[in-house]
Structures are given as C-alpha cells and as structure tokens.
Amino acid sequence: MTVRASVVIACRNGAAYLEETLEGVVSQAWTEPWEVVFADNGSTDDSRAIFRQVAARNPAIAMRSVDASARPGKSFALNCAVAASQGRSIIVCDADDVPAPGWLAAMGGALETHDFVSARAEAKELNRSPCGIYRHVAESTWVLGFAPYALCTAGATMGFSRALFDAVGGFSTEVQPEDDDFCIRAHLAGYRLQTVPEAVVHYRLRTDLGSIYRQAFQYSLTHVQNAKRYRPLGPRPARPWRIISREAYDVARALAKQQLRPKGPETEAKLRWRLGWLAGQVAGIVRFRTPPTMA
C-alpha cells in the first residue's frame, strides 16, 4: 500500500505540549493511507515516552519514531524525519501546535495536485495567557521584503511533495528558523506556493519573556542572514538605516514608558519581541556585514 502523506514532527524537549499536538494529529480523518514520523532531536524530558504512549493508544495509525539526536536543530530533525518517511507528500506539524479537524484531509488532498502548499495559521485558540497575541502571526503566506521577494509560509503550516524536497536539497542546517530559506529555494526552483484555507493549524506563541526575546532575536538574525545570502538576486530594500534608527528610538521610548507606568503583561511581551527583533538586526549587521532588513 502506497503511503500518500507523511506527517513529520521534529521535537526537542516538547513534553509540555506534545500530547495535545499528537492527539490533534491522530484525531484526523482521511481516506488515504498516511503515517506519522516523529524525529526526536535529543530530548531529555518525557517527549519520547509521550509519543510511545500515544502511538500505543492508536494502533490503527502508522506511527514511528526516528533518532535525530546526532546534531541539534529543527532542520536536522526534519531532514531525518523526511528521510525515514514513506509518503509521496510531506506535511509538517510543529510539536507545540495543534491541527484543527480537517487539516490532514485538506493538506493531503491539495498535495495530490500541488507540490507546495500552506495551511492557515489561527492564533487565538492556544494563546489565552496574559501575554495575549503580542506579535503578528501571518495567517498563511507572506512575501519577503528582500530579493528574491519569494512567497513564504511558516514551517508549522507547510506541506510539500517529496520531489520538491529532493529538488531543493531539504532543509538547510545553516539557518534557524528554516522556513524562509526553504521557501526561497523552492521559489528559485520554480515551485509555486498554494494556500489551502480549509487546513487550519492552531499556532502557539511563547509566554515566557526570555523565550519571547530569544525567539525574536533569532528570527531577526536569520532574516538578515537570508538577505545577505540572496542579496545578488536583486536590489537592497530602500532606506534600511533610517528605518532601524527610528525603530531603536521608538523601542527606547516605549521601554522607558513601561518602566514608569507598566501597562501589563501583553505590553511587556510586545516590547520584548520588538527589542529582540531590534537586537537581532544589530547582531546580523555585525555578523554578516550587511544592512538591516527592517521594513
């Protein structure tokens, strides 16, 4: 029997939310053969045990794990999961998000006729903490603000054919997060990203202020790294130095106001995100010797 789609999950110490994610996956209904491949990236918590327990409770679903601990990083783990999978198509699910009913059938069906697809991200369901929805979550796709101006989607919402994955050489282990770079290379290889609005993923934001800052920093740093990598493909964004200078001024003022008159956890989370993004831009300027990418 040919496996039509493989749901791949990369995980490192994801025990806090993994069972909820897996239950969302195994509750999916699709008439075609499918499987779940779980790549453990060296977890030291109960992630592997949780996967085994959920798999044992769902013997009718093909679920297996692969050891992806040889190298830290989500990209490496995803590559291991894809290598171990049998599906003609690959659907990515992050270990802390929850797919809504109908997600698998919609994504799997779309991948029967398209090589590259994006689900729709929904941010309200899982983000009811005092931090709220402190940053913009793209519902589906976006266009990069630098060359080659590719249409992109989050790793948590993407699906692709095995042919596309092989053509672009998998996920790069040199960039983290991996999604923009993967989308850029798919775009350059001639693959068009299609939105699947019926496929919904409940997307989870971080709630710890330190984690919020670190995630924003890494996202921003990688944004600059990708801009440097693909800069020969087109002109630089206009007035980047003026934009980053204005952002630095605005963030400094907002931080000062927050110290004098605190406005609550959501405002603090927004400021941590903005500060992390700004710091990532500065670090990218220094590390990659290239202009910022703020727009």
Q: Could you read off the pLDDT of 147-166 as tens digits, one per residue? A: 999 999 999 999 999 999 99
Residue 10 to residues 36, 68, 86, 158, 207: CA-CA distances in angstroms?
A: 11, 9, 16, 14, 21
Structure-token match 């934009």, residue found: 243
Judge: domain 5-202, CATH 3.90.550.10: yes
Q: Strand, helix or coil at 258?
A: helix
Q: Strand, helix or coil at 119?
A: strand
- Residue 20: its H or E element: helix 15-26
- pLDDT of res. 47: 98
Strand partners, 9: 38
**In a structure prediction context, what are the per-residue pLDDT tens digits for the chain, which is 295 residues long?**
799 999 999 999 999 999 999 999 999 999 999 999 999 999 999 999 999 999 999 999 999 999 999 999 999 999 999 999 999 999 999 999 999 999 999 999 999 999 999 999 999 999 999 999 999 999 999 999 899 999 999 999 999 999 999 999 999 999 999 999 999 999 999 999 999 999 999 999 999 999 999 999 999 999 999 999 998 898 777 778 888 999 999 999 998 988 888 889 999 999 999 999 999 999 999 999 999 997 5
> Are 102 and 178 spatial neighbours (Cβ–Cβ below 8 Å)?
no
- pLDDT of res. 261: 85
Q: How far apart are CA 37 and CA 150, in angstroms?
A: 29
DSSP-assigned states of every residue in 72-118 = -SHHHHHHHHHHH---SEEEE--TT-EEPTTHHHHHHHHTTT-SEEE
Query: What number of other Cβ atoms are within 10 A of residue 234's Cβ?
Result: 11
Say how far residue 293 (Cα) sits from the centre of its chain.
19
Share of the chain above pLDDT 90, in %: 91
Q: pLDDT for 228-238, tens place per residue?
A: 999 889 877 77
Domains of the chain by residue range: 5-202, 209-288
**What is the value of pTM for the model shown?**
0.95
- pLDDT of res. 239: 78
- pLDDT of res. 295: 59
